[in-house]
Structure 1
Amino acid sequence: MSSFNGTEVPDLSKRLHQATSEINQLKEVFKVPSISFGVVHQGKVIRKQSIGYRDVDNRLNADPDTIYPISSCTKMFTAAGIALLVDEGKLQWQGQVSKNLPEFNPQGNPAIALESDLIDLLRHSNGMPDATMLTVGPRGCHLHDCGIKGLIPLFNQLPTANADGQRFNRHWTYSNMNFILGGEIISRVSGQTYPDFIRSHILSPLGMTRTVLTKADIPDDNVACQYTLLRDGTLKQLPPNHWPFDKSRPDIPGSGMGSSLNDMLTWCMAVLSAENEESELDSSMPERRKSPLKQMTRLRRGYWTRPPEDPDKSNGAAFGMGWIRMTLPTSMVGTYSGNRYTRDPKGPWKLHLDRNNILGLDSPPREMIGHTGGAIGGIATVWTFPETQSAVCVLVNGRSLGDASDFAAQALIQALFDLKPQVDLLSWARKEAELSANSLTNDLLTLWKANRREADRERDPERYVGEYKGFNDLFTLSVGTSPASTPDQECDSRLTLTFNNVDRTTCELVFYKQDTYSVFTGDLDLWMAEWFHYRDYRQTLLEFELDDAGLVLGLWWMWDTDEERAWFRRGDGGRAVLN
């Protein structure tokens, strides 16, 4: 027996050993190549382990130094960078974003430029949508080489309202774009590039030598490849265009970093220590603070609350600045994870609301603060527990059947704190994997087929060839032609689509119905292997609009299901083909 919080509990090492057995089973349930996981307790690392392959094709094992993409966990570091500048008096939390980014002026709502501050930006309440669909295209290709000076004008054209009206400080919308802007603020105020600032002010002081922002940071080949799962169960390595970055890019502050298990455990301990130091020392004595991290208590408090669906049993959650905060017991532990089918509030399962699945329901309340980061072929989960200076971290390089990192983290949390009642996480995980396995068929293919009208008369495809410009001509969809894929096709060529003039994104279009083509061909394996991030069939459609003479005027594209379709006008004049 060992003592924990003054209570005698079964041996912690035995519980963590059992959790490790569960994680091995989770690896098989979700069919991921590798899982790296670790636990910090009372300020020390008490367990770390890696299972599986970082590189399946070459059978290279993962280990605690393997570098994985941490994606949106990057936001923790961006927020920490801004906090350092606030602590130095170079920024103010309630200072206007536009003071440092005067060109940021969203056209849909002037109040955003006039009133939104750093807290609004970092807690995702500034009314702006998520621009990921306009920044990352097929095969993980980045769609803008123009730098931040080209991105901000595009952001200014994005919608700021929904059916309920303007969203600014009325609706919460998770957005990588906000942290892209935050990274640019760091660069302009510090006089350094974002990667240089994070390296010099955070990574180097903490000794985080295996945390990377660009390819140049990678010290060796101990890097996790990202994988998807084909329908026959084959693991397919995804294109490496998305990550790591070739150079410093404006996208990095939102989701571009990578790190190892060892470094992320170091990060968790540093955050907890800094937060604890701030709590113990009077705010008037900043010179006595030893940590290179500053204002962690400010970053990690709750700023935008989200109530649980079961308030009679669960505590709610709140989004901080780069962190999510909640209190056990709660059904919201996996709310921001990649597990959505068993948690869908509109779906039939809602397993998170089953009292037998609520983590810590019969245990004392416990604060937890963390984040999840989802890459195109992997996912990371980090949770910290200030009361006991504890943390869990899980890194995975696959996510086709759901989020193994979320369930693995919950297994470790349950074991670490001996939570009651014991949640059967494996059964829950199996149902999530089962539903995820059929998700693309149900969410994309079935509806795509049901609404397709192949019997419609197809006009001469050549009429649609041209460039189409949207968002005040700041984003281009190029329709061209390529040789037919097979010799038995009626036409000698097929239409193609290229996103924003990035050649690597070029893909075939298929006829969907009259004057409408789809970037989805019906081949789910191709969709997964080439990594298209659209999961709603409507996002795959280009709906062309013609005048009475048969001249193509432009097209409509639903770039995001939470936003109205966007109009792209034809930019080359076009020609009418009367057939």
Structure 2
Amino acid sequence: MTKRYHGLKRRSRIFAAAPAGLRTWTCAAAAGLFLVAAQAPAAQTQPALPIAPAKIDETVARAMEAFQVPGMAVGIVKDGKLVYAKGYGVREAGKRGAVDTDTLFQIGSNTKAFTSAALAILVDEGKIGWNDKVIDHLPDFRMYDPYVTREFTIRDLLTHRSGLGLGAGDLMFWPSTDFSREEIMRGLRHLKPVSSFRTKFDYDNVMFMVAGQIIPAVTGQSWEDFVKARILDPLRMRPCAPTYGQIADRSNFASPHVVVEGKLRPVEVVSIDQVGPAGTINCNIDGMSKWLMTQLAGGKAPNGKQVFSTQRRDEMWSMNTVLPVGGPVAAMNRTHFAGYALGWGVQDVFGYKKVAHTGGVLGTVTWVAMIPELNLGVLVFTNQQSGAAMDTVGNQILDAYLGAPKRDWVAMAIAQNQQRGNEVDAVEQEVARIAASAGPPSLPLDAYAGRYNDPWRGDATIRREGDRLVLKFSRTKHLEGPLTPYRGNIFIVRWNDRSMEADAFVRFEEGFGGKVEGMTMQAISARTDFSFDFQDLDFKKVN
């Protein structure tokens, strides 16, 4: 999963580069990490590539330095073989352990294709159909609109066209909470739609969690056990695991990293197991290469086992939700269509169909792309949440296979991120300027203190500590921080955990009698990941 990337935590956008990694790494000591590389022995005996290995090395080194990435792993699958596999840098900044092709990464929203494949296996077995109504398998499933509840299908769960907004409901699992999958599903009935059902694409992690719940409802097996038994084990993808907690040996695991106030630092792995089907698989280049070989071979694993049928594979690659096409990258790639299939994004590039996805959780992002007509797959994993770094490497490799015009993806990404960073910085500086000159709030501090409740997210409290207020969300240790006055009844919450980059406005609603009746929230800037869906909250004061 998501964020900064459509999908999970930092997290998982499908095609575009993530707005992370806005600063250039200037630490000379850190730059030395890029010299560490480990290559798979098999890769050295493979046929020549259309892109020189030295060019890949150069692109990786420049991307890692420009976007402050401590470690990266790259793989190329061609004609049923892993023809290139190499690790770069280190698993954790400041330590010696090198990234290699066996290093495990959190693949985030690239998990979604596994969930679709798990359901495809059940379709092959006649136990479900893509167009089955969700309530026929999960009677407690409810959306805000009864009509949508009645018509919602398994296919709808996998296509981001529910009518809910971007990342709706993600705050029930992100940052890490103690909500159960059942509680998260029950919370859906309180989320108001922002568009009509099946009319618009808005990336949503929670629906993939619900999709995963179809599996135990039909088979009696958990999503984790089913994916391991029916996909990971048959493909011999060891030591890949459905969740971080199920990794048997973490000695070769890529620690996640974030940039906080300009400095790179490792962070703890955040548990989002409640939405496992949306983004919790951990895997390495070797394991994911087998996954791409299976996809490209129509569901047949490298060992010859048919995991799912070619018909199901084709259905998983067929567009269901249309995405708008435009912008300079689409023009450069001669892209005429783009859309979302079942756990995969699809589009055309230079006349070829591209099947791809990205994934991200806090501190880690991954890039997966296939060109079926070329029997080609490309993998790029990084242990920092800069989507720009993985995009530049992946696209530079694809260009060589597609015969694209010569272009420097690293240079383009640096320019784009600099522009985006300047825009975001300008917004945040203006907010800081207003906050610095803010007067006292409209009401005494005690008037804001109390317990507030949102129907899907639950309780939050405002408490007074001396001459300031502190906001704390229930069911998570991460969302707590002081409030500073901004304007009238509007405050800014600055979270104690600075790695989240999610400071937000908090606006208190004053009734006609002069008492506070509720509060709403909104992220301060575009730097905040979409999974902090503060805008969907509608807290009412309880006491």
Aligned pairs for 1:356-375 within 5 A: 365-375=351-361
Match of 1:3 in 2: none
**Stretches of structure 2 lacking an aligned partner (at least 5 in a row):** 1-46, 524-529
Deviations 1:393-424 (A, max 9, x none): 00011135x4211111011112234x131122
Secondary structure of the residue that 2:415 maps to in structure 1?
Answer: helix
Match of 1:180 in 2: 209
1:467 corresponds to 2:447: no
Separation of aligned partners in 2, 1:450 and 1:480:
24
Q: CA deviation at 1:451?
A: 7.0
Residue number among 287, 302, 308 corresponding to 2:319 in the alignment = 302
Residue number among 203, 227, 237 corresponding to 2:266 in the alignment = 237
Match of 2:25 in 1: none
Q: CA deviation at 1:193?
A: 1.2
Residue type at the aligned position of 1:180: M
Stretch of structure 1 that moved more, 431-440 or 149-158: 431-440
Q: CA deviation at 1:532?
A: 3.7
Residue type at the aligned position of 2:366: A
- The sequence identity of aligned pairs, in percent, is 24
Residue type at the aligned position of 1:408: V
**Stretches of structure 1 lacking an aligned partner (at least 5 in a row):** 1-9, 278-288, 330-364, 483-491, 535-539, 573-579
Aligned length: 480
Cα distance 1:368–1:503, how it changes in 2: closer, same or farther (>3 A)? closer
1:201 corresponds to 2:230: yes
Residue type at the aligned position of 1:465: A
Match of 1:7 in 2: none
Match of 1:480 in 2: 463
1:168 corresponds to 2:168: no
Stretch of structure 1 that moved more, 419-428 or 81-90: 419-428
Q: CA deviation at 1:514?
A: 2.5
Stretch of structure 1 that moved more, 495-504 or 112-121: 495-504
Q: CA deviation at 1:44?
A: 0.5
Separation of aligned partners in 1, 2:426 and 2:265:
22
1:427 corresponds to 2:464: no
Cα distance 1:68–1:445, how it changes in 2: closer, same or farther (>3 A)? farther
Match of 2:96 in 1: 59
Match of 1:227 in 2: 257
Separation of aligned partners in 1, 2:204 and 2:50:
39
Match of 1:142 in 2: 176
Answer yes or no: is the 8 Å Cα contact 2:133–2:154 preserved in 1.
Answer: yes
Residue number among 517, 523, 527 corresponding to 2:491 in the alignment = 517
Aligned pairs for 1:136-535 within 5 A: 136-137=173-174, 141-143=175-177, 145-162=178-195, 167-218=196-247, 219-232=249-262, 234-240=263-269, 242-243=270-271, 249-275=273-299, 290-294=305-309, 295-309=312-326, 313-329=334-350, 365-400=351-386, 402-417=387-402, 419-438=403-422, 440-447=424-431, 449-450=433-434, 454-457=438-441, 459-471=443-455, 474-482=457-465, 492-520=466-494, 529-533=498-502
Q: CA deviation at 1:46?
A: 0.7
* TM-score scaled by length of structure 2: 0.82
Q: CA deviation at 1:551?
A: 2.8
Residue type at the aligned position of 1:324: G
Cα distance 1:562–1:570, how it changes in 2: closer, same or farther (>3 A)? closer
Stretch of structure 1 that moved more, 436-445 or 198-207: 436-445
Secondary structure of the residue that 1:325 maps to in structure 2?
Answer: strand
Answer yes or no: is the 8 Å Cα contact 2:322–2:338 preserved in 1.
Answer: yes
Cα distance 1:562–1:480, how it changes in 2: closer, same or farther (>3 A)? closer
Separation of aligned partners in 1, 2:210 and 2:223:
11
Residue type at the aligned position of 1:224: A
Q: CA deviation at 1:189?
A: 1.2
Answer yes or no: is the 8 Å Cα contact 1:86–1:93 preserved in 2.
Answer: yes
* Structure 1 residue ranges (4+ consecutive) displaced by more than 6 angstroms after TM superposition: 559-564
Cα distance 1:571–1:253, how it changes in 2: closer, same or farther (>3 A)? same
Residue number among 107, 110, 116 corresponding to 1:70 in the alignment = 107
Deviations 1:498-531 (A, max 9, x none): 123423432222222222221137xxxx77x431
Match of 2:542 in 1: 571
Residue number among 89, 94, 106 corresponding to 2:131 in the alignment = 94
Answer yes or no: is the 8 Å Cα contact 1:478–1:501 preserved in 2.
Answer: no
Q: CA deviation at 1:97?
A: 1.3
* TM-score scaled by length of structure 1: 0.77
Aligned pairs for 1:13-24 within 5 A: 15-24=52-61
Residue type at the aligned position of 2:364: G
Q: CA deviation at 1:372?
A: 0.6
Answer yes or no: is the 8 Å Cα contact 1:452–1:513 preserved in 2.
Answer: no
Separation of aligned partners in 1, 2:541 and 2:475:
15
Deviations 1:338-361 (A, max 9, x none): xxxxxxxxxxxxxxxxxxxxxxxx
